[in-house]
Amino acid sequence: MQQKQIITLNKTEPVMCEYAGGCFKLNEQGVSFIGKDKDGNSMAPRWICSPLQVVAKTRDAKSGEWGRLLEWQDDDGIIHQWAMPLALLQGDASEVRRELASLGLSISPNKLARDLLATYLQVFPVENRARCVDKLGWHENLFVTASQTIGHSSEKIVFQNSHAVESAMSVSGTVNDWRESIGQLAAGNSRLVFAIATAFAPALAKIAGEDSGGFHFRGASSSGKSTALKVAASVWGNPQSYCRLWRSTTNGLEGLAALHNDGLLILDELSQLEPKEAGDAAYLLANGQGKTRASRHGTVKPSSRWSLFFLSAGEESLVSLMARAGQKTNAGQEIRLADIEADAGLNMGIFETTHNQLSPATMALSLKEYASKYYGAVGMAWLQKVVANQQTIATNIADTLQAFVSSVVLPDSTGQIIRVARRFALVAVAGELATEYGLTGWKDGESIRAGYQCYQAWLDHFGAEGNREDRTILAQVRSFFESHGASRFDNIKTPNNERLQNRAGFYYTDDAGFRVYMVLTEVFKKELCQGFESRTVARVLINEGWLKPAADGLPTHKPRIRGVGTPRVYMFTDKIWSGE
C-alpha cells in the first residue's frame, strides 16, 4: 500500500536549489529565495510560502500529462498531497496558489514571491517518479483512492487532477470497533444490511462486469431511511462529510460521480432536487458518462466517465417527484434507480429488530452515534482483501450472481427485471464476501436474505408482469379513453357534429354493440403517445390486440367517411376495456 510520506526536513541542512544566479531554500521555516544584488552579493531571503515539498515528477502511462506530486502540512499538522498538472503553471499560476491556500499552505502576499512559487515548483530538484492516473478506482490491478493506492506496483501511482482533492474516505476506530457496534446492530435488519452491502458492492462491479446503478429508500421522514444512509457511509468515512444531498446541479453531480468512480455515492433528500432535473440526474449517474463540452479552443473536451453505485433516500419516489413537474418517467430511468420501500412492515420503520435497544428511536440514535465514531477502517480493509483476492473473485463471482438471479427471477421475466436483479445480486454477494473476510460479524446468508427481501420490495412496487414501459403505455392509452369516452368522437354515420369540441376521431358501433374508436393520427401522436415514440406505442398496442392493423399490415386505416373524406386513423378494438 502506498501512502503519504511524512515531511521531514533537516533542521541544520536545508534543501538548496540554484536558480537565476540565486537559490531557493527549503527548511522548517518554509520556502524562500535568496537573490543577488548587482554587485553579486547575497540579498536577504525572500519568504515565499510555508514548507512545501516536491515529492516526485508525475506522468501518465503514455509519458504525457506531466506534473509534480506536492506535499505540505497545514497549521493543524495535517498532511496534504496533490499531484499538480504542470500545465497549470503556464499562466499566472493563480489556480495553483488558490488550491494550495485552500488546503492550508501559507503563501506570501508579495507579488514577486508568489511568482517565484511557480518557478520553485518547476525547478525544485527531484529524481523520484510517479505514474499519474486521471480517475480514482481501479487502475489495472490496483485500486487508487485520493490519498493512497492499494496493491503492489513497481512505481508509485497517484491521482492527478487540476484541483487538490481531499478524499471523502477517512478512518476513525478499527474494523473490530465497527463490526461490534454497527455491524452487530445491523444484523437482522434487511434494509440496514442491504445498505451496508451496497457500500461494498462497487469495488466488485468491474470484476463482475456489472453496470452502474442506484437504490432509493423511499419512506416517511421518521422511517429511519437516513439512518440506513449513515451506516452505509460509515463503511468509507465520516457520514457527516461522506453523505451528500441531491440538490447539486447536474454539472455538480458529474464532478461528484467522477470522484466516486468504482465507489459508492450517497445522496439524501431526493425531494430537494428540482423535479424537472430528477430523471436526467438518475440517468446521468447510472449512464456513467458526463456531457460532451467544447474547450475554449473549440475542440471537444473528453467527457468524464465513471462506474459507481449510488444510494439515495427521500419521502417520494423518482416517479412521484417527476410527476410534480408534469413529467413521466420511462422504464430506463426507473430501473436505474431501484425504489425500495424503507418501512420493513413491522411498525418499526426501517427496523425489524432492535436487539438490546429500548426502541426504534434509541436504535437509530445508537447507530448514528456509532457511525460518527467508527468509520472507514472496514472499507479500507475491504479494498485490501478485494485487491489481494481479485483473481479468485473473478473466477467465482459469475456463478454466484447467477445463482441469486435464478432464485428470484421468473422464467418469463423481462430484461428490465433481470437487469435490476443482477444489481441486487451483486450487493447481496458483496455482503457475503465481506462476511467471509471477517469484516461484518454477520452469519452466513445474512446479506443474501437481505438482498432477497429488498429485491422483493422493489419488485412489488415496480410490478412483476410484462415490460414496465409497455404497461405505462397501455395505462396511458386506456386513461385517454376513460377520460373522454365518446365526448371527442364523431359518429361515423353522422359526422361533423358542430357541438363536438376538439375532435379526436370517429366511432361506430359494431354488431356486438361495442363502440369502435378511430383516432386521428395527430391526436394519436400528441396525446396518446405523449412521452413515447409513436411507432413504439403502435407496436405495443398491436401486440396487445388493442389496435387493429390494416390489411397491408400498417397500423393505420383510411376509411371513407361521408362529408369528411378518407382520413388516416388508428382503429381500436374493444380490448382496451379488458384486463387490469
Secondary structure (DSSP) of 366-410: HHHHHHHHSBSHHHHHHHHHHHHTHHHHHHHHHHHHHHHHHHHS-
Region of 17 (left: φ > 0; alpha: ψ -120 to 50; beta: rest) is beta
Dihedral of the CA atoms 527, 532, 535, 538 (nearest 10)? -60
Beta bridge partners of 126: none
Distance CA 69, CA 474 (A): 59
User: pTM to 2 decimals?
Assistant: 0.81
Give me the pLDDT at residue 290, please: 80
Note whether 53 and 7 are within 8 A (CB): yes
* Distance (Å) of CA 478 to CA 260, 364, 452, 541, 546: 43, 45, 34, 11, 10
More confident residue, 577 or 451: 451
The type of residue at 60 is D
294-303, 334-343, 495-504, 524-533, range with the lowest pLDDT: 294-303
Confidence of residue 248 (pLDDT cuts 50, 70, 90): low
The whole-angstrom separation of Cα 429 and Cα 439 is 14
Q: Other CB atoms closer than 10 Å to residue 523's CB: what's the count?
A: 18
Instruction: Report angle CA 310, 316, 318 to the nearest 5 degrees.
Output: 55
pLDDT of residue 3: 46
In angstroms, the CA 458 to CA 425 distance is 13
Residue 435 sits at the vertex; the CA angle it makes with 2 and 157, to the nearest 5 degrees, is 15
Helices (H), 485-533: 521-523
Q: Among 264, 261, 255, which residue's Cα sits nearest to residue 233?
A: 264
Q: What is the pLDDT of residues 447-459, one digit of tens each?
A: 999 999 999 999 9
Say how many C-beta atoms besides its own lie within 10 A of residue 99's C-beta.
Answer: 20
410/177: higher pLDDT: 177
- pLDDT score at 461: 83
d(CA 167, CA 190): 29
- Grid cell, residue 358, equals 429500548
Q: What's the CA gap between 447 and 309, in Å, rounded?
A: 17
pLDDT of residue 304: 82
How confident is residue 2, by pLDDT bands cut at 50, 70 and 90?
very low
Please compute, for residue 384, the number of CA atoms within 13 A of its CA located in the half-sphere on the CB side: 13
Which residue in this structure is represented by grid cell 458529474? 254
Residue 545: pLDDT band (50, 70, 90) is: very high
Q: What is the pLDDT of residues 348-403, one digit of tens each?
A: 999 999 999 999 999 999 999 999 999 999 999 999 999 999 999 999 999 999 99
CB 343 within 8 A of CB 360: no
- Residue 231 is predicted with a pLDDT of 98
Alpha helices in 239-376 (DSSP H): 239-242, 250-259, 275-287, 318-324, 331-336, 360-373
Yes or no: say if 103 and 80 are a contact pair by the CB < 8 Å rule.
yes
What is the rounded CA–CA span in Å between residue 177 and residue 374?
6
Give pLDDT tens digits for 28-61. Answer: 999 999 998 888 888 999 999 999 999 999 999 9
Mean pLDDT of 157-180: 90
pLDDT at residue 296 tops 50: yes
131 forms beta bridges with: 59, 157
3-class secondary structure, 323: helix
7 pLDDT above the threshold of 50:
no
Q: How far is CA 560 from the centre of its chain?
A: 55
Mean residue pLDDT of the chain comes to: 90
* Rounded-to-integer distance, Cα 262 and Cα 253, Å: 15
One-character DSSP codes across 220-250: -TTSSHHHHHHHHHTTTS-HHHH-EETTS-H
Domains and CATH numbers, the chain: 15-134+148-159 (no CATH), 175-342+363-461 (3.40.50), 468-577 (no CATH)
- In 426-462, which positions are buried (b, 16+ CB within 10 angstroms) versus exposed (e)? bbbbbbbbbbebebbbbeeebbbbbbbbbbebbbeeb
What's residue 303's pLDDT? Answer: 74
Q: Which three cell numbers stand for residue 427?
A: 450487493
- pLDDT of residue 524 exceeding 60: yes
Helix, strand, coil in percent for the chain, rounding step 5: 40, 20, 40
On the question of pLDDT at 198 being above 70, the answer is yes
Specify the pLDDT at position 295: 54
Q: Which ranges of 49-168 does DSSP label H, i.e. alpha helix?
A: 94-102, 111-123
Query: How many whole angstroms from its chain centre is CA 254?
Result: 9
Res. 405: pLDDT tops 50: yes
**For residue range 113-148, what is the model confidence (pLDDT) as tens digits?**
999 999 999 999 899 999 999 999 999 999 999 888
